[in-house]
Structure formats: structure tokens, C-alpha cells
A and B are shown apart, each in its own frame.
Chain A
């Protein structure tokens, strides 16, 4: 239950203004999504940029590439595309009364989706690795995200850890009392029932905690309006770098869409 994936290093990427970094990361992800299906040359260039950024952030060149494989389960979502997209037929299988057809376009689109998600995760990871989570919350606040959403995120960050600890304790208590056969924690139904009552009791506890937290906020002058600290403005050099990066991304995406080679 740890949202904070920040890896402290002394690098220009770490020091970069968190608001500009956040905007750049979101723009990069939108840009990746806009790249046309099948532009694998462009994907390769984006990947090289993330490798460069990873090195610049002193995380080691391959760190982002390596840790972004968490995207793999989502490949399953893209799989049906291989069979459903109409186009040039590569292979046809007969499965009982049905026949499955793999098309060239299907394979291309499925591969593109997988690659794009993989690249987007790398961008998001770069942001998470180089920015402490509380700083990201400050950045969201000063980017004028509605205060209620900022506070939901910040309470989530604070209390996910607390609830996680409580869940861990309950799990241990359950294990300590389940003395059934070797290696099994009881039948599936029994475990489901225990898990269900754990979720229920976690909910009740959290609900009660929320009332105590609210009282603690009132006690310190909370009046219904959440106020937060304000970040200092970004340096000129950072603004210039930000503008250059933004323009480069826009030109790259537009260029690929208009003139890029296709598979």
C-alpha cells in the first residue's frame, strides 16, 4: 500500500518544477496516445527518449524499461483486436463451429496498443520516481485542481497506509487462528467469509476514524475550506525548458501524424 515510488537522487529531472513536470508528463502521455497505430519508428524514438530521461535522472538507463512490465496484464485487453479487426487475413483457425481469423491490421493495432501503454507507463513512472508524492499533491493544488479533489488525494495518500496496516494486522490475526491442514488457510468459502467481514470491519473503522479526523481538523480551525501552502513560481530557465519540450512534443506528434511512415 505504498503510493510513494520516489527514488531520491540529485538530478535536474528531480529538481525540475513539479507543476511543469506534471504537465509535461500528461502531455507526453496524450501525445503517445495520439500517435497513429503502426508507427513503430516513432514508438522507438519515444522509447529512446525515455531511456535518455532515465539516465538524466540518474536512475540508470534501463530502469524505466525494466519496471514498466507491470503493463503486461493489460495485453489481454488488446488481444481480441487481433481477431476482430477486419483486414488482410494472415491465418484462420477452426475452433468447433467457429472460425478465428487473424488479420494483419489486427496484429498491428494490438501491438500498437501494447507498446503505447508500455511507453505511457514509463512516462508516468519517470514522474513518480523523480517527484515525492506530497510534492505532486502540491503541484495539483497549484495547478488549480479543485480543492476537494486535492484533499481526497491527500487523505487517500495518508490513510491508505493506515488502513493497509490495519488490514495487515487483521490478516495476521486470521492466520494466527487458522490451524487447518498443511499449507491451506481453510476452504475457499471460509476464507471468502473472513475476507468479507474484514472488509466490513475495515469500513466501519475507517468511517469512525473519519469522524475523529474531522474533529481533529475542527479543533485546529478548519471551517470547511481547505487551504494549502503555495509553491514558489518556477525559474525562468525551467519555463524555457518546459516551452521547448512542449513544442518538441507537439511538432513530433504532428509530424508523425502527417508524414510518418506506416506499417
Chain B
């Protein structure tokens, strides 16, 4: 591969970080004190964490048309759940957000930057993509190395890498697990470390594929609390309708590669006919409620 050398990142100074945090406060909900500064300084005049998808088509090499004209705009700090049956194109869509797949037609842009081969590397620092299986996400011998992978490949200096690893692990309640081996952790712990591996890159947008799949109830609650506590733009695909109802104010239904519904979670999750038509089901009333209110503090297992 002849990709350019890692770009030195100019916003590493703590002062600039603080500034970035203020920016973020303006858009997101009020961050709790001591929250992790999450966004990079956006380019002039463009807010951090905005996703614009226009006319997106994707045809796989075998001729399968996975996405047929997606239009979607996600505002900074917004939490959006992508639901739909298996094979609806959710994962394909997510892989476009940081340039792992390239559109056959149409475009994806992140904070005004069109994602293509030349911008993919800088976009990947802004979009933190967490894959469904933590065994795919965690590929290093130790937790520390895995969380440091992103910052190291962003070309950051040693001291800043160390800081970011500590902050990211603290944010997911996994401090003290640095030297542990991923296959000795529980599934829930692996999942939280997976989230830390992208938080360490300080992305403006978090994208999770099926975050609660395979988790036990406690692991699921912990992950929901974690998602509710983040101030980044959050885009999640899921079959877990109760979780969607609880954490996500906006829901998009994807089926057959197109957006079939897009709106407030209250409306969409109440429309039983719509949900059933797309192989989904309505979440139970008892679990309803938005914005993660009533979620307990992030559990710590250490």
C-alpha cells in the first residue's frame, strides 16, 4: 500500500482540547463534569459530527445491490438507530461512513468532507466504527495495545497515546485492564473495550453495529448507559427494539437497501403496521422512555 505517512495531528495540545470541548457543549446535552472531551476542533464554520448521505448506491462485486439510493442527514450530537431485517443493508451503510466501502453512486460526507480514497484516512479519525463481534474488533495481544492501535496509527506522540488509552478505558469503566488478554475477558467487557478502541481516537461520530447482540442483561444495561452518556453523534444498527426505544430519539428503518421510514422514535416505534411490514416488532411499553433517563451509573466490574 502506498498510503501517505501518518498526518501529524495539530490539535493535540490540551488547550485546544478544552476549546473543542466547549464547542461540543454548545451542541450536545450538558456534559457531566470530567466527561471525556470527545470532538476534534471542526473546520471553520462546520459543526463537528455531521453526516450527509446523498443518493448512496452500493453494488457488491457479485451484482447484489445492497443500497439503492439512501438519503440521510444526521446532525451533530444526534442519536440515531438504524433498524431493519437482516440483509437490509445496515452494515453496508455503516462501512461507507468511514470509507471502507466506496459508493457505486452518490456520496457520503462527514462534516463537509466527502469520503473517498484520498480522505478516508482523515475521516477514519473522525468516525469511530465498532464492529459487531468483539473478537474482530480486538485483534491485539493485550487490551492496552488494542486501545492504543488507533492513536499509534494516527501518528501521535507516545505521551498523548498513553493519555488517550487511559481516558478511553476510564470512559468505558475498564481502567486497570490494560495488561489483560482479550480472550480472558467476558463478552460484556470485550464489548466495552471495543468501544474504548475507537474512543481513544477522539472521534466526532460513533458508529456501532449491533452493540447489544450477545450481551447478558447486565452487559446490555452497561452498554446502554455508556451510549446514553456519550455526546458524540451516535449511529447504531440494532435488532434490540427495547434498547432503541430507550436510548435513541430518532429511528430510521432500512429495508431492501432503502430508507422506508425516518422519524422520532415515539412515532415509528408505535406504528405496529409499519414495523411488522418490515419484519420488526414493537418494543414493550414498560421499557419505553427516551434519552437514557433513569439509567444507572456505568457499572464497574474491576
Contact stretch, chosen from A23-31, A36-44, A89-97, A150-158: A150-158
B133 adjacent to A212 (CB under 8 Å): yes
A134 adjacent to B181 (CB under 8 Å): yes
A-B contacts at CB below 8 angstroms, number: 88
On chain A, the number of residues with a Cβ less than 8 Å from chain B's Cβ atoms is 30
Contact for A209 among B124, B136, B197, CB less than 8 A: B136
Judged by a CB distance under 8 angstroms, whether A223 is at the interface is yes
Judged by a CB distance under 8 angstroms, whether B248 is at the interface is no
B150 adjacent to A221 (CB under 8 Å): yes
Closest residue of A by beta carbon distance from B154: A221
Contact stretch, chosen from B41-49, B81-89, B139-147, B232-240: B139-147
Shortest distance from the beta carbon of B171 to any chain A beta carbon, whole Å = 16
A228 CA / B148 CA spacing, docked (Å): 9
Point out the residues of chain B lying under 8 angstroms from A61, CB to CB. Answer: none
A223 CA / B137 CA spacing, docked (Å): 16
Interface residues of B in 140-164 (CB under 8 A from A): 140-142, 144-145, 148-150, 152-154, 158, 161
Point out the residues of chain B lying under 8 angstroms from A224, CB to CB. Answer: 1, 3
A10 CA / B150 CA spacing, docked (Å): 33
A161 CA / B6 CA spacing, docked (Å): 32
Point out the residues of chain B lying under 8 angstroms from A212, CB to CB. Answer: 131, 133, 136
B139 adjacent to A157 (CB under 8 Å): no
A57 CA / B201 CA spacing, docked (Å): 40
A213 CA / B134 CA spacing, docked (Å): 10
B121 adjacent to A223 (CB under 8 Å): yes
Instruction: Identify the B interface with A (CB < 8 A).
Output: 1, 3-4, 6, 95, 98, 100, 121, 124-125, 128-129, 131, 133, 135-142, 144-145, 148-150, 152-154, 158, 161, 179, 181-183, 197-198, 201
Which 6 pairs, one residue from A and one from B, show the smallest C-beta to C-beta distance? Answer: A224-B1, A134-B141, A221-B153, A223-B3, A161-B183, A220-B150
Instruction: Identify the A interface with B (CB < 8 A).
Output: 4, 132-134, 137, 154-155, 157-159, 161-162, 165, 209, 212-213, 215-224, 227-230
15 CB-based A-B contacts, threshold 8 Å: A158-B138, A165-B183, A215-B131, A217-B139, A219-B98, A220-B197, A220-B198, A221-B121, A222-B149, A223-B1, A223-B121, A224-B1, A229-B145, A229-B148, A229-B158
